[in-house]
Amino acid sequence: MNRIAGMLLLCATSVSVFSQESEPAPGTLITDRPDATESPSTVPVGYIQVETGAFFERFEEGNFKNENYTFNTTLVRLGILENLEFRLGWDFVEQKTSGQNNVLSGFSPLLFGTKVGIAEENGCFPEIGLIGHLFLPVTAARDYKPETTGIDFRFAFAHTLSERSSLSYNIGAQWGDDSPEAAYIYTLAYGLGLTEKLGAYAELYGDFPENHSANHYWDAGLTYLISDSVQLDATIGTSITEGQDILLSGGLSFRIPTKRQKE
């Protein structure tokens, strides 16, 4: 984890210097990390937004203790139209099980998808977006390669509660792991601006598989804006139901123009 933290710090320093030399981006960065709740907002037209990081999770299954390290959770978002973005994501995962010498590692299936802005916030009516992804098996390493294409979709909602607080939530469904069973997903996140640059959040999220028990989790974390286009984050969490013992995560998000923006 020290190695991961060092890499993130180096990236943050490099991107911070670059952002100071670049044209100012439109508005403050809005990201889809570090929480499980996706924002309904799309990336501005003509900009690329990169959201990357690493996380560690531990859970016990029977007499075995599993540790998962995800060294690269990169999501690349490209603003195509005013309310449309393309999304590409790829994770590199390493899984270790106590009492076993076998270590699973490699890339998970490539995520390809879009986000569409449906409605802007208007009084009590929330901002709404629709997000959909495909998970392509041909792009995955052998240890994480499913036989069938995974799919998910969700509606994302956001309410402004005050000048410094907001409430966001998602509802949707996902299919994966070579199973025809749908899992209905939900998230609920409360965000609070502690200062102009420092923010905090707390979140509940989980899923309801059709033929298995529901899974419920919580997490909380901090975000720090280095500039309007660069953000650091840190998260801690665990499961409410049986499963995940602990989740630790840290990340970096930044936005750059695809071409020089006119003044």
The per-residue pLDDT for range 163-189, each reduced to its tens digit, is 999 999 999 999 988 888 999 999 999
Closest to 41 in 3D by CA, of 53, 29, 59: 29
End-to-end alpha carbon distance in the chain: 42
Average of per-residue pLDDT across 243-250: 93
pLDDT at 17 over 50: no
Beta carbons of 202 and 187 less than 8 angstroms apart: no
Structure tokens given for 19: 């952002």
Q: Where are the domains of the chain?
A: 2-257
| The CATH number of the domain covering residues in 2-257 | 2.40.160.40
- In order of 91, 97, 101, 127, 148, the CA distances from 63 in angstroms are 28, 10, 15, 46, 31
pLDDT at 113 over 90: yes
Task: Give the per-residue pLDDT at 141.
Answer: 92
pTM as predicted: 0.86
Beta carbons of 254 and 227 less than 8 angstroms apart: no
Q: Hey, what amino acid is at 19?
A: S
Closest to 92 in 3D by CA, of 135, 147, 144: 144
pLDDT at 6 over 70: no
Q: How confident is the model at residue 55 (pLDDT cuts 50, 70, 90)?
A: very high
Write out pLDDT tens, residues 126-162: 999 999 999 999 999 988 899 999 999 999 999 999 9
Structure tokens given for 45: 């037209």
Task: Give the per-residue pLDDT at 260.
Answer: 54
Which letter does DSSP use for residue 4 in this model? H
pLDDT at 98 over 50: yes
